[in-house]
Structure 1
Amino acid sequence: MHRNLMTVYNDFKTNPDVMFVSHTIDFKYDKPHVLKKYAQKLGVDGPKWQFLYGTKDSVYTLAEKNYLVAVGEDSTAKDGYIHQGYLVLIDKDRRIRGAYDGTKEDQVEQLRKDIPVLLAEYKK
């Protein structure tokens, strides 16, 4: 998912009106120093893409109530978690404008097309 999002990040990393935020769901392992190393491994530097950490309750509630995506612990899942790998496009007024399966290249490509449309709305 993050590798696919890198294509979008690279397209918009110099645009001051676009921000990227990732929330870890692995609250036991993904401490801030781990997330920083992961960002560096991806080639992300600076504040344009934030990798955020929080308590299980805060992150899961945010995912389910604000982003409307499912997340949870599942001992039968490969990594111990089940979650939707969605990329959510949110406008400046905190409204969801699109949701894209970040594991599918065609949906990531659609996100790349939808961002300029959203940006153009704010320039009117």
Structure 2
Amino acid sequence: MKYTVDKKEQFVVFTPMEEKLDSALSPKLKSELLTVNAEGYHNLVIDMSQVKYADSSGLSALLVGNREFSRNGGIFIVASPQEHVMKLMKISMLDKVFTIVDSIEEAAEAIFIHEIEGKEQEEDD
């Protein structure tokens, strides 16, 4: 599986450089997402701009990432999904599960807000 990882201060941008996220690639995607999480990053943006097709196993890999990053108070954001992938997420109602944005910039803003809300939550506890 070809991909890029861009580590920022508050988050990681993970970009699959593949047109298809299917059963052939989803195990590798899961393990890469878990590796980034294990490195201590709490927030991940998966840039889906290169992905034209995903099947249920590809979406399953995204769900694993979402669960792992959310577990420790982080956030998992799906950025720039293409039309087919977005349709599949809506059909499977994953648009209600994932935080989905149109760009990396919007993802960065969502992470900033998430971090502020998390700090406010800690202060209230």
TM-score greater than 0.5 by the shorter chain: no
Which of the five TM-score ranges fits, normalised by the shorter chain?
0.3 to 0.5
TM superposition score normalised by structure 2? 0.33
TM superposition score normalised by structure 1? 0.34
Larger helix share, 1 or 2 = 2
